[in-house]
Amino acid sequence: MQSAAAPRWRGQAGRLEVWYATLSDPVTRAALWVHYEMVSPTSTSARDPYAHGWVSWFPAGGLPQTERFGPEPVAPDTGPDWLTVAEARMTSEVLTGRAGPMAWNLSWKDSGAPLWTFPRSVWERELLPGAQVVLAPTAQFTGSLGVGDITHRVDGWRGAVSHIYGHGNASRWGWIHADLGDGDVLEVVTAVSRKAGLRRLSPLAFVRFRIDGKDWPASTLPSVRMRTTLGLRHWQLKGRIGGRQVLIRVDQPAERCVSLGYTDPDGATAVCTNTEQADIYVEIDDRHWSVIGTGHAEVGLRGDSAPNTTEKTPS
Instruction: Render pLDDT for 59-98 as a digit per residue (tens, 0 to 9).
Output: 998 999 999 999 999 999 778 899 999 999 999 989 999 9
What sections of the chain are H helices per DSSP?
A: 2-5, 120-125
Is the distance from CB of 246 to CB of 238 less than 8 angstroms?
A: yes
Residues comprising the chain, all counted:
315
Residue 3 in this model has a pLDDT that exceeds 90: no
pLDDT score of 201: 73
Instruction: Compute the distance between CA of residue 245 and CA of residue 149 in angstroms, rounded to an integer.
Output: 49
Closest CA to 132 of 216, 190, 54, 76: 190
pLDDT score of 315: 47
Taking residues 46-52, what's their average pLDDT? 90
How does pLDDT run across 231-258, given as a tens digit for each residue? 999 999 999 999 999 999 999 999 999 9
How does pLDDT run across 103-156, given as a tens digit for each residue? 999 999 999 999 999 999 999 999 888 999 999 999 999 999 999 999 999 999
Taking residues 184-213, what's their average pLDDT? 89
Sign of the CA dihedral with 297 first, then 150, 143, and 100 last: positive
Q: For the chain, list the strands marked E by DSSP.
A: 15-24, 31-40, 50-58, 65-73, 83-85, 88-91, 94-99, 102-109, 130-147, 150-166, 172-181, 184-192, 204-211, 214-216, 226-229, 234-241, 244-251, 258-263, 269-284, 287-301
Q: Residue 296, SS3?
A: strand
Q: What is the DSSP letter of 120?
A: H
Residue 101 in this model has a pLDDT that exceeds 80: yes
Instruction: Compute the distance between CA of residue 39 and CA of residue 48 in angstroms, rounded to an integer.
Output: 9
> Is residue 232 packed enough to be buried (19+ CB in 10 Å), middle (13-18) or exposed (0-12)?
middle
Under the banding of pLDDT at 50, 70 and 90, the label for residue 41 is very high
Residue 1 in this model has a pLDDT that exceeds 70: no
User: What CA–CA distances, in Å, run from 301 to 99, 130, 172?
Assistant: 26, 16, 5
Taking residues 19-44, what's their average pLDDT? 95
pLDDT score of 312: 47
Q: What angle do CA 267, 268, 272 make, to 5 degrees?
A: 120
Residue 2 in this model has a pLDDT that exceeds 70: no
Instruction: Compute the distance between CA of residue 205 and CA of residue 228 in angstroms, rounded to an integer.
Output: 7
The tally of CA atoms less than 13 A away on the side-chain side of residue 166 is 19
- Report pTM: 0.94
pLDDT score of 152: 96
pLDDT score of 132: 96
